[in-house]
Amino acid sequence: MEINSQLIQSNIEKAKKGDQVAFTFLLDFFWNEVYGFMLKRTQNETDTEDIVIETFAKAFDRIATYNPEYAFNTWLIAIAKNVHIDILRKKKSSLFIEITDEEDQQAYNIADSSPTAEDELIKEQNLSSLLECIKQLKSHYQEVIQLRYFQELSYQEIAEQLNEPLNNVKIKLLRAKKLLADIIRNGKKKK
C-alpha cells in the first residue's frame, strides 16, 4: 500500500476520534523520522528513545490541537524539541555548581533511571487497591501492566509475547501508566 498525504491525514482524523489503529499507524510511520532527528541532537540512544516515547505520548494526548495547515512530522519534531529542552532544563536546574561542557555532556549521557511521577504513585498503592484500579483499564492496557510490573518482563520480551512491534509496546505501556495514575489520583480525591 502506498502511503500518501491523504492516508496520513485520514489516520490523523481517526486518531483525533480515539482510533488506536490510527495511533499505531502514525507511530509506526513517523517513529524513525523523529528518532533519527533526536538522535542527531542528543547523540545518545537512551535519551533519544525516552524523548521520542514522551513526544508521541504528548502528541497523542494533544492530537485534537494539531493544525492541519502544518505537516504532521513538523508538529511532532516541534514537540520533540520541546521535550528535549525541558529535559535539559531539568538537568541544568538541578545543578548548583558550575561545570564544563565536557562534564555536562558526560552527565547528559547517563540514563535517568529514577522513577517517574506515575511510577511513584503506582508504588504507593497497596496491592488490592492497585489491582482494582488496574481492572478499570482496557484489557490491552491491563495486559502490558501485568507483563511489565507483575511478571517483570523487558519491553522486548513483552513485544515478543504479544507479537507486536517494540515501539507499540513502549507507547502502550506509557499510555497505560498515565491512565492508571489518573485513575489512582481520581480515587484519592474521592476519599
Q: Where are the domains of the chain?
A: 1-96, 117-189
Q: Do domains 1-96 and 117-189 have the same CATH topology?
A: no
Burial 47-57 (b: 16+ CB within 10 A, else e): bbbbbbbbbbb
Closest CA to 8 of 84, 79, 68: 68
Q: pTM of the full predicted structure? A: 0.53
Q: How far apart are CA 13 and CA 68, in angstroms?
A: 10
Distance CA(75)–CA(15), nearest Å, equals: 15
Task: Return the half-sphere exposure (C-beta side, CA atoms, 13 A cut-off) of residue 58.
Answer: 16
117-189 carries CATH number 1.10.10.10: yes
Could you report the per-residue pLDDT of 54-83, keeping only the tens digit for each? 898 888 888 889 888 888 999 999 999 999
For the ranges 88-97, 122-131, 174-183, the one whose mean pLDDT is highest: 174-183
C-alpha cell at 82: 520541546
Q: What is the pLDDT of residue 111?
A: 44
Domain 1-96 belongs to what architecture? Orthogonal Bundle (1.10)
Distances (CA, A) of 15 to 5, 12, 122, 134: 15, 5, 28, 24
Q: What is the mean pLDDT of residues 113-139?
A: 69
Cα 151–Cα 153–Cα 159 angle in degrees, nearest 5:
125
| Across 70-84, 159-173, 177-191, least confident range | 177-191
